[in-house]
Structure 1
Amino acid sequence: MNSRNEQLLQRLLAMFTVEAEEHVGSVTKTLLELDRGVEPGRLKELIEKTFREIHTLKGAARTVNLAGLVALCHALESLLALMKQGTVALDRSILDLMHASVKAIAGMVPGGGNGPTPSAPANLDSLIAQLNRLTGEAPPAPPPPMLPPPAPPEATVAAPPAPPAPPAVTQAPAEATTTQVPTGPARTPARQTIRVPIAQLDFLLHQAEELITAKLSGASRVSDLRSLGRDLTERARIRSRLTREAQADHDSQTLTWLGTKLSTLALAADNDARGLAKSVDGLLTGAKQVLMLPAANLLDPVAQNVRELSREQGKDIQLDISGQELELDRRVQEELRDALLHLIRNAIDHGIEPTEERQAKGKPAEGKLSITVSQRDGGKAEIAIADDGRGMDGRKLVAEAIASELLDEEEAENLTAGQIMSLAFQSGLSTTDGVTDLSGRGLGLAIVQEKVERLGGSITVESTLGAGTTFRLLLPVTMAAFRVVIVAAAGRQFAIPTNRVERVARVPARAVELVEDREIVRVDGKPLALVGLTDLLRMTLPAPPPADFRHYLVLAGAGHRIAVEVEQVVGENEVLMKGLGWPLTRVSCIAGAMMLPSGGQGFVLNVHDLLRNALRPDFKGRPARSLTNMAAPARKSILIAEDSITARTLFKHVLEAAGYRVRTAVDGMEAWGILNGETFDLVVSDVEMPRMSGFELTAKIRQDSRLGETPVILITSLESREDREHGVDVGASAYIVKKSFDQSDLLNMIGRLI
């Protein structure tokens, strides 16, 4: 073949690949609809549609000299023609044969994961023979090529040996079919080509053309800086010739001139940056739109796998899909494909029961599996995979976790329903009693969670024993830039996806508590383990010097929460994450790399790995910092005397959150009794209380030789001058009116007094 014909054939093959993928996808959808059963009128319409698709595909395949594909399309077209005429009735065996034929056609389409010149499938001759038996046709002679075939002999694919003749296929029940069903779902090759509307290409071209202005502006700024450098060199040369007295005046003039030049350059650079940002944002938006494809590209192959797996397992399953029109980033779809396959394997293998078991439970014989794609706020999409099968046994999950030493019995008793279900994502845990070639090893859900979280998403599970299970995957619609919280640790900067950060906070060092030699902080009144980010990353570093405040982030995922201490929270930003190349494709706790706003490089952390490391029984962080020196001020004790339970609770919460040990009394009499047996660093008291007022309590404290120096703060609604003077007279250290009460004022007052 001369070079001109070869180039023409390559262009035709590229166009054929896109066209063939659309035809195969359309026919696959039609066959799946026929699987569910349709009315006679709809049946006729679908057969006509399939006939036209196969006929068009055959003509296109002949154009690019794909003889095997032409032969299979011709045999299938002949069968569809007889079905249109009513000569052959559609039954389960014919439907299975059509599914197998379309799958073989998909495998012969060049490009994508099939290679530029895919070899014919091993069962090609068998499929054509079965189709010809149904139509009574002899195999057609191969058509002459429309373009000369390639000259090199090594490019010719040898035909496989003819298999033994299969038994005749008749219009029999489903169990009589001889069509081979694969033992497991094959991964659909990554799509290598997409169709892009001309309007989108025009938009991208326009945005790219605007970058020319930014390019010219950048060159102009470089020229200005070089000119400035030359001028400074010349001024320095002139200065060296001046007397000492003249140099001072020259320096003053030079600084004024330099300031003016730099201000002008800064203004020009700022304008350039604004224009460049606008162009880049527009280009990025356009590129994102090009990569957006309907979710049908992800769900259609999954639907085909559902059919094959259900037939292999001998289960009758109805699949409902909705939301296929919602657009998702092509890269999200490719990364998510394996995760969806894991979930449908679980649902089909040990989620949905066999027909006999379902009927015994009073369920419909046909199982139901649904996949729903829906839009969520914040640029997110939710994919829900639900079945009406057995559901998950939470008690069995807990028992497996205890047996695997992931939990002890005391921890298991305190688990919430959500935390119990999240155990299903632990590697090695499974509620099934056996292992099959599809599932049962307890690895699938752990893999799903890892893939989803690497995409910046989350996964949750809801299950009712005996009624079914629903998995909900919340994912970003696009995989471009995403928001992260940038933190500093060990002199380096790391990024944590914002959707995994519940809160960012700092607490006084004295507020950190020790429980069984582990540091904890209280978040919303509940204790939370505090672990260092450097410990989670296994970075060997000396203990940091004591600080007045400790900075941390609360990370959450899979039903678990931890507080991760960092040196500094730098801020929130949008970054573009790059994957790590070989051999660093899977480094623990690292999801990818990024460029920092400062121009340096940093790492995006994998929160799933951080949580897993922190919760491991053998995790050993840095020994808890000694709080002995800080404990004296941190755990100083305060007695609150207040008859209002609301005010008493408020004061107690405020003071405990600040790190104080707090005891309460319902009035002055009870407070005086407590003071006779215990010592406190400070007393906070209301004035108007039954049995003993705050004034009386303060006076008794001042008259006692042991308690006389204890500071007393009176908090009351009495704001007259006489009341204030009375408080001073009895010895109150401070007097705060409730009307103008502010908790920061109270804490500041306590800080000054003790």
Structure 2
Amino acid sequence: MDREKLIERLMATYLAEVEEHVRALNRDLLVLEKETTPEVLTGLLATLFRTAHSLKGASHSVSVTLIESACHRLEEILAGLRDRQLPMTPDLVQLLFATADAIEEAGNRLRNKKDLADAPLARLLTRLDAAAATQGPGQSEPTEAVQPVVVALTPSAGSDIVRVQAAKLDTLIARSGELLVARRRTEAWSEDLLALREFVEGWEREWRPAGRFMRRSVLRKGDRIAPPPERRGNGGYAEGLPRQARQALGRAEANLKRLHRELDRLATGAAADRHMLDQAASPLEEGVRRLRMLPFGESCESLPRTVRDLAKAARKEVDLVIEGGAVELDRAILERLKDPLLHLVRNSLDHGIELPGDRQRAGKAPRGRITVSASVKGSRVEIAVEDDGKGLDLAAIREQQRRRKLPESTSDQDAARAVFLPGLSTAKIITQVSGRGIGLDVVKHGVESVHGTVDLEFDVGRRTRFVLNVPLTLSTLRGLLVATGGLTFAFSDTNVRALLRVRPDEIRSIEGREVVLMGGVPIPLAALGEVLGLAAREPTRVGGKVPIVVLASGNSQAAFVVDELLSEQEIVVVGLGARLIRVRNVSGATILPTGRVALILNAADLVRTALTHVPARGVAERLAEPVAATRKLLLVVDDSVTTRSLEKSILEASGYDVLAAADGAEAWEILQERGADMVVSDIEMPRMDGFVLTEAIRGSKRFRDLPVVLVTALESEKDKARGIEVGADAYLLKSAFDQRDLLQTIAQLV
């Protein structure tokens, strides 16, 4: 390993250590600020001293002198507090918190390869020196005599702990998911082999009496078989043909028996291999899944410090309680819940918890309480953020609805749920904490991004409780598979409220919107294919009824006509990658046992679309019309297998024949051999990029009028101008990819 790579690895390890030490400093300083027991204070100061000393040593080893110097000054202050040479004052504790923040900020600068010369930590050194000025010399290093025997907040794991980069863990998880897919494909092939064996067994049973009959028939009629003209006069023909027929029958019987034996052997072996693979893959998948599970408490580590700082700024007294910190969730879920939890806690402190005097006048204790809890409910986790504050201001919410010309709420609960709407805030002024109306919208979208739901409960004047319901893991989920527009899609079963079959004449229209009745309640109806921008196909009807899936997102629900209900099964979730992460209505993908990709649909997006979009033609009208199809040949060019497969699936489902190429050179070869009605191409590709391919097409007599659509991640005006210059007919961005835009563009050009 060369020196640069070694330094890079050491720095990555160091920065991870900085994060851990900063968390430890914040955690122990929060306790230090509240504790007054001498024994506990002594133990906490010793623990803080060790943290500062460890971070100083780590900083010295990678030559980060600024953090090293700050930690040395921290040691001096902590030693002064420990030896009672410095008084414990609020200003001094605040300085220690500020130092922890500045060390964290310096670590972020190093991670982004920025200079530390003008870092806030550099400006704090003078204040740290001043704070430690009253301490006598020789007190900055610990001695055995003053080491406490009381505290050890975190037991040392020693060599039992191994650092693994998150990206490597994600790769391992992806590979284990592929193994699970391979296992299911093996199961499918094994079942097909068993079915084939049963077919051959039945064939053999049918053959036995037929074979006996044919053998007797040949023996009876052999002497009456007329030879062909060229064989007439050959006396052995009449005897030879029955003999040949008997031999052929014998060989057929023998081959059939051999086929049966071989299939039996293969089926038995496949079943054994399937069992062995299942025995190996299931524990492996479970073990790897457990690797990505982390305690819920880790996502709450920053909350105590946030509450402490905001409470001081707002002059409120608040206790934060974390319950269920040991409950384990998928690391990816915890990462995406950090911001929603932070917003909810800030919301509770700013909007819920009252000032001490106001609380006392309301008959409450002057100190408020915010509780963040997690509990397992089957295969999901319920996370609650509750405060004992004043509850929701329903009058203010309704006033905001009126001002923004939103539909009036019919109940207090509906009015309460309006707080999740973007831009709605009941704060009287805009501050750093609230007033912009984006916090709870962020919460809703963050929770929905992990296939979760959010709701709230409240008692006016007493409490507010936000409830988040999320899955334990994102690696697998129980899903409903449906077919629409020639494609297979999956829904998370947590979003599936009901499966229905209705006749077209049972579809009702209320205030211009089509609905179906479920338990007497009207549910807005849409065609899934139309929402996704797919070509219409005839749904599979049973007794004249079409299949419908009712989806729920929070307390909203909508019904969708699909072409066919396929099955319910455990599916492995595959990410779409950074380029396709913002595709509307799609939250992920899975690989089916057949090897084909099925997109996992985002129920929240679909329900929102169904509730706000009124189609030009109704579902009932569509179901009454015959579906016509004309097929054009499109050539899709992209070096990403995922993007290529996604675009190919979308276009095929929309009634096009599609060829695919991995780069411009392969696409040019395909054009020469087979031609096409349009090219849909990426730009950045090996061998021949999209610009060069477009130039080649425009320079060809045969293809110069061929429509070309560039779908790319390149967003600069320079690249767009280059696309126009080489002759592209359309330039679409992957960052704003919407399959309806793509399909509309293609429809205009072909």
TM bin (shorter chain)? 0.5 to 0.7
* Native 8 Å contact 1:36 1:318 kept in 2: no
Measured after TM superposition, the shift of residue 54 of structure 1 is 1.6
Report the Cα distance in structure 2 between the residues aligned to 1:628 and 1:21, rounded to whole angstroms: 59
Measured after TM superposition, the shift of residue 74 of structure 1 is 0.8
Question: When the two structures are superposed, what TM-score results if normalisation uses the length of structure 2?
Answer: 0.64
Measured after TM superposition, the shift of residue 85 of structure 1 is 1.3
Corresponding position of 1:66: 64
- Of 468, 475, 481, the match for 1:473: 468
Report the Cα distance in structure 2 between the residues aligned to 1:137 and 1:491, rounded to whole angstroms: 78
Corresponding position of 1:30: 28
- Of 47, 63, 88, the match for 2:86: 88
Residue by residue over 1:21-41, the C-alpha shift from the partner in whole angstroms, topping out at 9 and shown as x without a partner, is: 433322211111233444343
Measured after TM superposition, the shift of residue 357 of structure 1 is 4.8
Report the Cα distance in structure 2 between the residues aligned to 1:446 and 1:194, rounded to whole angstroms: 38
Alignment of 1:276-425 (within 5 A): 276-355=277-356, 357-358=358-359, 361=362, 363-373=364-374, 375-401=375-401, 403-407=403-407, 409=408, 412-413=409-410, 415=411, 417-425=412-420
Corresponding position of 2:45: 47
SS in structure 2 at match of 1:271: helix
SS in structure 2 at match of 1:430: coil
SS in structure 2 at match of 1:368: strand
Corresponding position of 1:271: 272
SS in structure 2 at match of 1:625: helix
Corresponding position of 1:568: 564
Alignment of 1:116-515 (within 5 A): 119=116, 122-136=119-133, 195=163, 250=251, 253-355=254-356, 357-358=358-359, 361=362, 363-373=364-374, 375-401=375-401, 403-407=403-407, 409=408, 412-413=409-410, 415=411, 417-508=412-503, 511-515=506-510
- Of 106, 114, 137, the match for 2:111: 114
* Native 8 Å contact 1:419 1:558 kept in 2: no
Report the Cα distance in structure 2 between the residues aligned to 1:100 and 1:248, rounded to whole angstroms: 94
Corresponding position of 1:75: 73
Question: Residues 330 and 627 of structure 1: is their aligned pair in 2 closer, same or farther, counting only changes over 3 Å?
Answer: closer
Residue by residue over 1:121-179, the C-alpha shift from the partner in whole angstroms, topping out at 9 and shown as x without a partner, is: 62223322112112228999xxxxxxxxxxxxxxxxxxxxxxxxxxxxxxxxxxxxxxx
Measured after TM superposition, the shift of residue 519 of structure 1 is 4.1
* Native 8 Å contact 1:107 1:114 kept in 2: no
Residue by residue over 1:338-384, the C-alpha shift from the partner in whole angstroms, topping out at 9 and shown as x without a partner, is: 212222232233333445654565554443322222x3222322222
For 1:337, the aligned partner's letter is K
Corresponding position of 1:530: 525
Measured after TM superposition, the shift of residue 334 of structure 1 is 1.1
Corresponding position of 2:664: none
Measured after TM superposition, the shift of residue 94 of structure 1 is 0.7
Residue by residue over 1:30-59, the C-alpha shift from the partner in whole angstroms, topping out at 9 and shown as x without a partner, is: 111233444343223212221222223323
* Native 8 Å contact 1:553 1:563 kept in 2: yes
For 1:67, the aligned partner's letter is T
Measured after TM superposition, the shift of residue 545 of structure 1 is 8.7
Question: Residues 110 and 562 of structure 1: is their aligned pair in 2 closer, same or farther, counting only changes over 3 Å?
Answer: closer
Report the Cα distance in structure 2 between the residues aligned to 1:540 and 1:266, rounded to whole angstroms: 41
For 2:70, the aligned partner's letter is L
Report the Cα distance in structure 2 between the residues aligned to 1:545 and 1:551, rounded to whole angstroms: 7
For 1:620, the aligned partner's letter is P
* Structure 1, unpaired ranges of 5+: 141-192, 226-241, 630-754
Q: Does 1:601 align with 2:597?
A: yes
Residue by residue over 1:578-629, the C-alpha shift from the partner in whole angstroms, topping out at 9 and shown as x without a partner, is: 232344221221111221232211111111111111211x422641526999
Measured after TM superposition, the shift of residue 335 of structure 1 is 1.3
* Native 8 Å contact 2:370 2:388 kept in 1: yes
Residue by residue over 1:307-355, the C-alpha shift from the partner in whole angstroms, topping out at 9 and shown as x without a partner, is: 3333444444332223323322222211111212222232233333445
Report the Cα distance in structure 1 between the residues aligned to 2:162 and 2:467, rounded to whole angstroms: 28
Question: When the two structures are superposed, what TM-score results if normalisation uses the length of structure 1?
Answer: 0.63
Question: Residues 34 and 513 of structure 1: is their aligned pair in 2 closer, same or farther, counting only changes over 3 Å?
Answer: same
* Native 8 Å contact 1:392 1:431 kept in 2: no
- Of 615, 618, 625, the match for 1:620: 615
Measured after TM superposition, the shift of residue 64 of structure 1 is 3.1
Measured after TM superposition, the shift of residue 512 of structure 1 is 4.2
Measured after TM superposition, the shift of residue 83 of structure 1 is 0.5
SS in structure 2 at match of 1:599: coil
RMSD: 4.0
- Of 575, 580, 587, the match for 1:579: 575
Corresponding position of 2:552: 556
**What is the number of residues matched between the two proteins?**
537
Question: Residues 399 and 13 of structure 1: is their aligned pair in 2 closer, same or farther, counting only changes over 3 Å?
Answer: closer
Corresponding position of 2:208: none
For 1:131, the aligned partner's letter is L
Report the Cα distance in structure 1 between the residues aligned to 2:272 and 2:540, rounded to whole angstroms: 44
Measured after TM superposition, the shift of residue 534 of structure 1 is 2.0
Measured after TM superposition, the shift of residue 250 of structure 1 is 4.8
Measured after TM superposition, the shift of residue 119 of structure 1 is 3.4
Report the Cα distance in structure 1 between the residues aligned to 2:623 and 2:328, rounded to whole angstroms: 58
Measured after TM superposition, the shift of residue 80 of structure 1 is 0.7
SS in structure 2 at match of 1:384: strand
Question: Residues 194 and 424 of structure 1: is their aligned pair in 2 closer, same or farther, counting only changes over 3 Å?
Answer: farther
Rg: which structure is higher? 1
Residue identity (%): 32
For 1:454, the aligned partner's letter is S
Report the Cα distance in structure 1 between the residues aligned to 2:426 and 2:320, rounded to whole angstroms: 24
* Native 8 Å contact 1:132 1:139 kept in 2: no
Question: Residues 108 and 621 of structure 1: is their aligned pair in 2 closer, same or farther, counting only changes over 3 Å?
Answer: same
SS in structure 1 at match of 2:584: coil
Residue by residue over 1:92-132, the C-alpha shift from the partner in whole angstroms, topping out at 9 and shown as x without a partner, is: 11111101112223344489x82578736622233221121
For 1:271, the aligned partner's letter is A
For 2:22, the aligned partner's letter is V
Report the Cα distance in structure 2 between the residues aligned to 1:50 and 1:430, rounded to whole angstroms: 41
Report the Cα distance in structure 1 between the residues aligned to 2:363 and 2:474, rounded to whole angstroms: 45
* Native 8 Å contact 1:535 1:622 kept in 2: no
Report the Cα distance in structure 2 between the residues aligned to 1:335 and 1:41, rounded to whole angstroms: 39
Report the Cα distance in structure 2 between the residues aligned to 1:291 and 1:90, rounded to whole angstroms: 41
Residue by residue over 1:256-281, the C-alpha shift from the partner in whole angstroms, topping out at 9 and shown as x without a partner, is: 43343233223322322222222221
Report the Cα distance in structure 2 between the residues aligned to 1:16 and 1:627, rounded to whole angstroms: 62
Report the Cα distance in structure 1 between the residues aligned to 2:65 and 2:271, rounded to whole angstroms: 62
